[in-house]
Chains A and B, each alone.
Chain A
Amino acid sequence: METFLIGLIAATLRVATPLIFGTLGELISERAGVLNLGIEGTMFMGAFAGFAIAAKSGSLWVGLLGAVLAGMLAGLLMGLLTVRLGLSQHVSGLGMTLLLTGLALFLFRVVFGESSSQPKITPFPTLEPFGNIPILGPITEQYALTYIAFLLIPVLWWLIYRTSFGLQIRAAGENPEAADAAGVNVFRTRYIALALAGGLMSAGGAFLSIAQLGSFTFGIINGRGWVCIALIIFANWKPVRVLFGALLFGGVSALQLRLQATGAQLPYELFLALPYLVTILALTLAGRNASAPAALLKPYRRE
């Protein structure tokens, strides 16, 4: 029982990692007033770019950096469509996801060819800060990126609530007209927010390919981006509550993985669907009280 629980906690933290990256990214974007449905594609592109660049350069950290840059570029393109041109955020975001997904698949084939064997890299090792100490040791045996993800939660809280740039982001998302009148450049703020958001989402995707798996598969993201969008609502657009949402989804996912590992004779596909069902349930419970940024979905125009 004890090893089961320890394994469960360790797996929960691991499963929550890409979701924390993705959700924090989406949070910045939505707090600035832009719903970024490009998240699913951005995470997919991040997984591809991280893997491909790491494989070709031989450095996992260069791969991660490449993924972040690719995500930031994707965020800027989303900015061009929704901030500068003022197009529908729903349609632009879905278009971005389709574009980035197609692009990543295309480039994967161009870089690695049609070979039947799955290209592989040696992924990031896990850190073991507490070595073999019972309980603490196995729980803290995690990837560096997992530590970074959890550290990013207080960092983002500080950025959003304690810096002037955070104030500008919140102003652009709540009342862009007033922000503009107060001298905030709403366009620039939203562009920067989208670029930061894209970098974070992309890092979340890269975690899967260059840390957890060491390979790139076509189903690598599998709706995790959409889960992040749901977690934002669950977290009521607050950075610290992102943690609980990610741990909830991570916990349910980890539980199904653990139960499978114990050899329980249950159909695993239903277990795989369980976290998504729990997410919808959580949304249903949180739905009524959710308070989205007032200017979300509204393009800003200077008259």
Chain B
Amino acid sequence: MVKWRIERQAAPVWVRPIIPLVSIVVTFLLTAVLLVLAKADPFVAFYNFLIAPLSDSSSAIEVLVKSTPLLFTGASVTFAFAAGYWNIGAEGQLLAGAIAAAGMGILVKGVLPVLAIPLMVISGFTAGMAWALIPALLKIKLAVDEVVTTLLMNTIIAFLVSFLLNGVWRDPVSGWPQSPNIADEAVFPKLIPLSRLHLGFIIAWIVIGITWVVLKRSALGLRMRSVGLGQDAARFAGVNINRTMLIAALVSGGIAGIAGVSEVAGIQFHLIDTISPGYGYTGIIAAMLGGLNPLGVSLASLFIGLIETGAQSVSWATGVPIYLGNVVEAALLLVTLSMLLIQNYRIRRA
């Protein structure tokens, strides 16, 4: 009889590319249990989940639309996590950017779009950065844990949004809690007529590209990654840890802020309190699934966009609650992280 034993040693190279595929299969097997609970046929559901969204061009475009905010928040989280700064505040920084965009969008009436659109992006970046500044300063000056403060800041700004929408920005005509529509000059142009795909998608890819260059090809990126890997070694090598972390935190906040601009200027055209159904948190999933590599993060964002579109179509086709999408995304994160451990092991004949 052949005996096998497991050794702690790097797995063969061919294991690595199949880990994501195995993770996806395992995740869907686990969620099949929920589909049975919801009295839906798993095969019909999975068809609608993964195949239907890609089978016609309008829903395939919708996948790209849904992935747009995640490309931003995924890049944002990657920027911070790579430097070992646990910014869980992308959600709040996104809202800060959305507030700025709603305000700037009103101000730029009459300004040429070539100027108005950069102004929108800059205002969102600045607002996201400003909202990220407080936890970052508390972290580097007073050693207050950034995980807790960024999370609390998310709740605080959600109240601020609701304060604005029920106060100064309440729609005077309908009385709905939504800000006045932004000027036409500030609206992101559509990439494909009659679809929802807008300029934000292009900007998102530019941001992904810049994130890749900074992280992988610049001295700053090297410093950031060295801090992320180990502060003691980085300090020994002469890296200014506080400065590096501050930059990572602020740029991360700024990128998340652009996500808010993109949703306001490309999709909603005004601020509403449901502007983000948790894009900041889903960005963490995208960043981790992408292995904190901007290119991986972009693929993960597209895949999550597919899941979100799929959840919509499953819901229409079988009546399964749309929240199945949220469960699949979170389960995929946890399953993938667990599966990645396999690459540390090798099975040998004893």
Residues of A within 8 A of B (CB): 37, 81, 85-88, 90-92, 94-96, 98-99, 101-103, 105-107, 109-110, 222-223, 226-227, 229-230, 233, 267, 269-270, 272-273, 276-277, 279-280, 283-284, 287-288
Asked whether, in the complex, the Cβ of B326 is within 8 Å of the Cβ of A101, the reply is yes
Given contacts A283-B148, A284-B138, are A81 and B337 in contact (CB under 8 A)?
A: yes
Across-interface contacts of A90 in B (CB, < 8 A) = 86, 147
Q: Which residue of B lies closest to A226 (CB)?
A: B151
Name B152's closest neighbour in chain A (CB-CB): A276
A267 in contact with B145 (CB, 8 Å): no
- Do B337 and A92 touch (CB < 8 A)? yes
Can you sample 17 A-B contacts with CB below 8 Å?
A85-B341, A91-B288, A95-B330, A95-B337, A99-B327, A99-B334, A102-B330, A103-B327, A109-B321, A110-B38, A226-B154, A229-B147, A230-B149, A267-B167, A269-B160, A270-B159, A276-B155
Contact between B338 and A102, CB atoms less than 8 A apart: no
CA A129 to CA B45, docked complex, whole Å: 54
> Interface digits, B32-54 against A, CB 8 Å rule (1 contact, 0 not)?
00100110000000000000000
Residues of A near B316 (CB, < 8 A) are: none
**Which A residues lie within 8 Å of B333 (CB)?**
91, 95, 98
- Chain B residues positioned under 8 Å from A87 (CB to CB): 337-338, 341
Identify which of B144, B155, B285 contacts A95 (C-beta below 8 A): B285
- Is B130 part of the contact surface with A, judged by Cβ < 8 Å? no
CB distance from B168 to the nearest CB of A (A): 10
In the docked arrangement, what's the CA distance between A88 and B228, Å?
Answer: 13
Cβ-defined contact, A223 with B154, below 8 A: yes
The answer to whether B337 touches A267 (Cβ under 8 A) is no
Query: Is residue B114 within 8 Å, beta carbon to beta carbon, of the partner chain?
Result: no
Contacts of A81 in B (CB 8 A): 334, 337-338
Nearest neighbor of A37 in chain B, beta-carbon distance: B147
In the complex, chain B residues whose CB is within 8 Å of the CB of A284:
138, 142, 144
Minimum CB–CB distance for A292 against chain B, Å: 9
Q: Is B329's beta carbon under 8 Å from chain A?
A: yes
Q: Does any Cβ of A come within 8 Å of B156's Cβ?
A: yes
State in angstroms the CA–CA spacing of A272 and B160 once bound together: 10
Q: Once the chains are docked, how many angstroms separate the CA of A279 from the CA of B145?
A: 13
Q: How far is the CB of B153 from chain A (nearest CB, A)?
A: 8
B37 CB contacts on chain A under 8 angstroms: 107, 110
Number of interface residues of B (CB under 8 A): 45
State the majority secondary structure of interface residues on A. Answer: helix
- For residue B282, which residues in chain A have a CB less than 8 angstroms away from its CB? 98
Give the distance in Å from the alpha carbon of A284 to the alpha carbon of B324 in the complex. 39
The 8 A CB mask of B328-350 against A (1 = contact, 0 = none) is 01110110011001000000000
- Asked if A229 and B155 make an inter-chain contact with CB atoms under 8 angstroms apart, the answer reads no
Find residues 1-51 in chain B having any chain A CB closer than 8 Å to their own CB. Answer: 34, 37-38
Q: Which residues of A contact B147 (CB under 8 A)?
A: 37, 90, 229
Q: Chain A residues near B155: list those with CB within 8 A.
A: 222-223, 226, 273, 276
Q: Are B148 and A226 in contact (CB under 8 A)?
A: yes
Are A233 and B148 touching (Cβ within 8 A)?
yes
CB distance from B155 to the nearest CB of A (A): 4
How many residue pairs bridge A and B at CB < 8 Å? 128
Q: How far is the CB of B42 from chain A (nearest CB, A)?
A: 15
Q: Are B330 and A98 in contact (CB under 8 A)?
A: yes
Question: Is A269 a contact partner of B154 (Cβ separation < 8 A)?
Answer: no
Whether the pair A227, B142 counts as a contact (CB closer than 8 A) is no
A288 proximity list for chain B (CB < 8 A): 142-143
Is B284's CB under 8 angstroms from A94's CB?
A: yes
The CA-CA distance from A156 to B337 in the complex, in Å, is 33
With contact pairs A85-B341, A273-B156 given, residues A102 and B327 touching in the complex (Cβ less than 8 Å): yes
Residues of A within 8 A of B176 (CB): none
Q: Does B125 contact A (CB under 8 A)?
A: no
Q: Is B166's beta carbon under 8 Å from chain A?
A: yes
User: Can you name 13 extra interface pairs (CB under 8 A) apart from A233-B148, A273-B156?
Assistant: A86-B341, A88-B337, A92-B334, A98-B282, A98-B333, A102-B325, A102-B326, A106-B34, A229-B147, A230-B148, A280-B152, A283-B149, A287-B143
For residue A150, give the distance in angstroms from its CB to the closest CB of chain B. 24
Cβ of B149 and Cβ of A280 under 8 Å apart? yes
Residues in B whose Cβ lies below 8 Å from that of A283 = 138, 144-145, 148-149
Shortest B296–chain A CB gap in Å is 15
From A91, A267, A270, A277, name the one whose CB has the most chain B CB atoms within 10 angstroms. Answer: A91
**Beyond A223-B155, A229-B147, A283-B148, is A98–B34 a contact (Cβ under 8 Å)?**
no
- B145 touching A98, Cβ below 8 Å: no
- Taken together as a complex, chains A and B put the C-alpha atoms of A99 and B333 apart, in Å, by 9
In order of increasing CB-CB distance, the 3 nearest A-B pairs are A102-B326, A109-B321, A223-B155
Q: Which A residue's beta carbon lies closest to that of B327? A: A102
- Contact (Cβ within 8 A) A272 B159: yes
Whether B142 and A273, one on each chain, are in contact in the complex, defined by CB atoms closer than 8 angstroms, is: no
B82 near A: Cβ within 8 Å? Answer: no
**Chain A contacts for B324, CB-based, 8 A:** 102, 106
Determine the chain B residues whose CB is within 8 A of the CB of A103 once the complex forms.
34, 327
Q: For window 85-109 of chain B, which residues contact chain A by CB distance below 8 Å?
A: 86, 88
Residues of B within 8 A of A227 (CB): 152
Q: Is B281 an interface residue (CB 8 A)?
A: yes
- Which residue in chain B gives the minimum CB-CB distance to A87? B337
Q: In the complex, what's the smallest C-beta–C-beta distance from A250 to chain B, in angstroms?
A: 16
Report Cα–Cα, A284/B153, bound state, in Å.
Answer: 14
A81 to B338, alpha carbons, bound, how many Å? 7
Q: Is A105 within 8 A of B159, CB to CB?
A: no
Residues of chain A lying within 8 A (CB to CB) of residue B166: 267, 269
- Could you say which residues of chain B place their CB within 8 Å of the CB of A98? 278, 281-282, 285, 326, 329-330, 333
- Docked-complex contact B337 and A273, CB < 8 angstroms: no
